[in-house]
Amino acid sequence: MNRFNFRKNLLMVVDIVLIALSALVSNAILSLACVLLKLPQEVYVVNDIRLLWIILLNAMFCFFMLFICGAYNKVWRDFNKKDYLYCTVGVIAGLLLSGFFASLAEKQANPIFYVINFVVSTGAIILFRFIFKRTFINLTEYGRSENYERTLIVGAGQAAKMILTDISNAHADPNNPSRDILPVCLVDDDDAKRDTKVMGIEVVGTTKDIPRICKEFKIKLILFAIPSCTEEERKDIMALCSKTDCKIKMVPYLSQLLFDDDKPQLLNQVKDIKIEDLLGRDPITFDRTEIRKFIEGKVCMVTGGGGSIGSELVRQIAKYNPEQIIIVDIYENNAYDIQQELRLEYDDALNLVTLIASVRDYDKMEAIFKEYKPQVVFHAAAHKHVPLMETSPAEAVKNNIFGTWNMVTLAELYTTEKFVMISTDKAVNPTNVMGATKRCCEMIVQYKSQSGSETEFVTTRFGNVLGSNGSVIPLFRRQIEAGKPVTVTHPDIIRYFMTIPEAVSLVLQAGAMASGGEIFVLDMGDPVKITTLAENLIRMYGKIPYKEVEIKFTGLRPGEKLFEELLMDEEGLKSTANKKIFIGNQIDIEPSALLSKLEKLQEYAACNDNENTVDMLADIVPTFHHKKNL
């Protein structure tokens, strides 16, 4: 406050001096004009005691009116266009009063003098304020740490107030990592908040102005502080934020905020924006009570339990108090990682068995079924990488199709209650070997369901999973962090996306809802353009796409298509209790034809005859349209 009073007093003195000098400069300009234009100086120029009177009256009345207009009530960094306008009004009013009283005392000057004096006085006062403001900001910012971040806060409500309070407290603590956050301005779509202040920080526009404001105010960090907004509103605002070069952080939803003594410490809960925040749909909700009834007290087996989907399945199953979890995976490193993670979290409270085995080995898998007698089987083991399966179709068939055949056969043999297979949207009208093998797996599961088995067989189908092994996001991140170009196969390629927890929750919900034979499909909202995904991820690293990080288009890979589909044309849709989950109608399977073709397929795959393997696969899956790349 003392510093502010000093600056205010300094400004008052400078204004008085500038007003006095402006009168002298105006008089000099008139004198020069009279010489150049050969005008009578006695008419226009003030060369007597009147000039002293005018200077004193100008200084007194202009200072008074500037004071009345609030020219000395603001700190320097908060000066804006409206304040400069008030200064202009103050000078006009002051000069009018000065001229009026000068005329009463018969000390007035020519009207042209007052016009020139107004221009010079106003220009001097506004220019001084602008220069001083920039000098003040540069001086106060000089010497700050390299981590100092000029910050825009989106939202001017209660959350913004709490964040500003937290930032203020952080500035007083030299060990607080948030002390280098400098709130510069706010934006809010409420017109009533425009040009108002929140704890001294001004609301300078709406969310639509974010790109312009970030450039104008040299913003480095955007804090999204509207925890009560809808997913659609958040998506729209995030899209605007992603057009800037700023880092983006956000306050969680109200339902996700943690409270301490009924007061959330928001700054500690602010998180980095995640790529899934831009998917453009509401988070998927599930009936956890129904899932608990499905899992609790059951022996649950997860094949591929060390993979990205399988390991998340194991994590979520563990929360519902199963009798036992059996992790089956051929890759020991992943299996070990999830085993250690669960042991650390649950200690001895979770009955966990981790087995290294391949679903291709019927005898080994039978021994596991015989010993542990799983009541629920989640079959997530599969080769999923599209280009690799194009070059090794026989291996895809051995692992995906006949690994699944082994599992469904044993599940039926040992009267497993439910068998849930993990499928993919690439199984719909497949153009690659991996998708065709998964479609064949769906047919096998439906065949078993239609065979009168006591086991309830069900398939879950979903799109690409963010962050899973082999997905684009980890690849993009590695490329950006290594300073390499981000590679996208085609500028127009689009995909459906969901998060790993959403995908796994769908699997559990489907298992709980299943009565046998269904293909459960998740409504995943609008598909996402991979190029846009890459651009947004680059921006989230604080870099500029195509300028600081190149995006290179490499061409579609073997078996890859521009658009993925979630449903076969002949399946149709049936709604469920969960508005985001639908059921595709069963497709009748001719058992003898399917079994005969599978027998031939197995022979070709066992001989590593890739060409005939692909041909037979196309015979089994009529919707498989494949350009051979063998």
Q: Where in the sequence numbering do the catalytic residues fall? A: 426
- For the chain, the C-alpha Rg in angstroms (whole number) is 36
DSSP lists the bridge partners of residue 238 as none
Cα distance between residue 380 and residue 84, in whole Å: 67
Q: What distance in Å separates the CA atoms of residue 575 and residue 399, rounded to the nearest whole number?
A: 33
Torsion region of 347: left, alpha or beta (phi above 0 gives left; psi -120 to 50 gives alpha): left
* Cα–Cα distance for residue pair 70/78, rounded to 1 Å: 13
Q: How far apart are CA 191 and CA 146, in angstroms?
A: 35
Please, are residues 185 and 210 in contact by the beta-carbon 8 Å criterion? Answer: no
For residue 263, the tally of other CB atoms under 10 A from its CB is 9
Is 24 exposed, middle or buried (CB count within 10 Å of its CB: 0-12, 13-18, 19+)?
middle
DSSP string, 383-409: ---HHHHHH-HHHHIIIIIHHHHHHHH
Please choose, from the candidates 122, 137, 133, 135, the residue with its C-alpha nearest in 3D space to the C-alpha of residue 15. 122
d(CA 56, CA 53): 5
In DSSP notation, 148-181 reads -EEEEEE--SHHHHHHHHHHHHHHT-TT-GGGGE
Q: Where are the beta strands (DSSP E) in 43-200?
A: 149-154, 181-187, 197-198
Which residue in 456, 428, 450 sits closest to 595, CA to CA? 450
CB burial of residue 378 (10 Å; 0-12, 13-18, 19+): buried
Amino acid at 596: S
